Structure 1
């Protein structure tokens, strides 16, 4: 979800010391373990062994397993966003917003990590649904709100409180990510995403 002239740069994580570790090395190991055993079976000791680092080194970067998994979800979101943005050729802000949102819904819903967490450890998602916004959600809101402002400026998106419009779009998007597979079969998800496109177009149209 990129506004006109706004690039998306995946935040770099520079090594801080001679014994610091590449974050992707740990996150790759965490991903494999979650797929294999779920979140409840993931420990810092197991993760250290799989990533071939010491537990002390892990704890210098993450306080616990949940911190690692939160960063893992953030990385997956960044990668999904980069892939979706590369496939968007342009258009006004509303066109870009809708295409990016629907594309992200489709890609995030397919993530093996998310599917495994929903299958084995759905309680991990509860705080982010009911109590607070995680870093990925805050970033999604920031990007969406920028696009909504751009759309209001270029006349492609109706007037209104940008924060409220952003929240409404995000709520729709997350419902289609998390609960769509409950209501329709796998073969019908593309048709459902077309309905999301129509919903967002009509909601945001001036």
Structure 2
């Protein structure tokens, strides 16, 4: 998937520059000076909003991950049950995350950057994804296609499932075995989601 480029504001120009630097050399070797130079802004402009590279990369990940999730959601179709749109969107989103070049770079070069969001606390991107999920679940409760339950708990459970299939799939898949490919696990994910959410 080609990274999404936004050129309509200085903030997005800085995030674009940060993304290009991370893709080139990884997070640990990226400096605010490099990002400022690439974005065509002063270092002081960056320091006013981002005190260090990790804060900047955190905002970058939020922008990219939320864009991936939003793009994966099927367009609104009043004839399609929310359950179908939710399962389709989650499955497509997990696939898109795994294919995203920024995600690949971080996993390959700086995986420790993701550990706090897996082990200790939620990040801004996770909270944004949870908001999308809660809204979709409430729609599903209303149209009767999704099992009625506590929507926040349901959303957090869905995100836990999606994170496992995104972050840990390479430890379980085997592309030399047709029954254990990433695509086969995507089918398994779809089945898990359908069985979890069907009333």
Task: Please classify the TM superposition score into its range, dividing by the shorter chain length.
Answer: 0.7 to 0.9
Q: Structure with the greater relative contact order (CA < 8 A, sep ≥ 6): 1 or 2? A: 1
1:17-96 mapped onto 2 (5 Å cutoff): 22-85=10-73, 91-96=80-85
Tell me: CA distance 1:108–1:186, structure 2 relative to 1, closer, same or farther (3 Å).
Answer: farther
* Number of equivalences: 189
Which aligned segments of 4 or more residues in structure 1 are displaced greater than 2 angstroms? Answer: 85-90
Residue 124 of structure 1 pairs with residue 117 of structure 2: no
Unaligned runs of 5+ in 1: 1-11, 15-20
Calculate the TM-score normalised by the size of structure 1: 0.84
Calculate the TM-score normalised by the size of structure 2: 0.87
Residue 88 of structure 1 deviates from its aligned partner by 6.9
Residue 89 of structure 1 deviates from its aligned partner by 5.1
Determine if contact 1:88/1:100 at 8 Å carries over to the other structure: no
Unaligned runs of 5+ in 2: 1-5
Give secondary structure in 1 for the equivalent of 2:73: helix
Q: CA RMSD of the aligned region, Å?
A: 2.2
Other-structure match for 2:145: 156
Give secondary structure in 2 for the equivalent of 1:113: helix
Tell me: CA distance 1:176–1:88, structure 2 relative to 1, closer, same or farther (3 Å).
Answer: farther
For each residue in 1:142-169, what CA deviation from the matched residue of structure 2 results, as whole angstroms up to 9, or x when unmatched?
Answer: 1111111211121111122222211111
1:188-203 mapped onto 2 (5 Å cutoff): 188-203=181-196
In structure 1, C-alpha distance between the alignment counterparts of 2:122 and 2:39, rounded to whole Å: 29
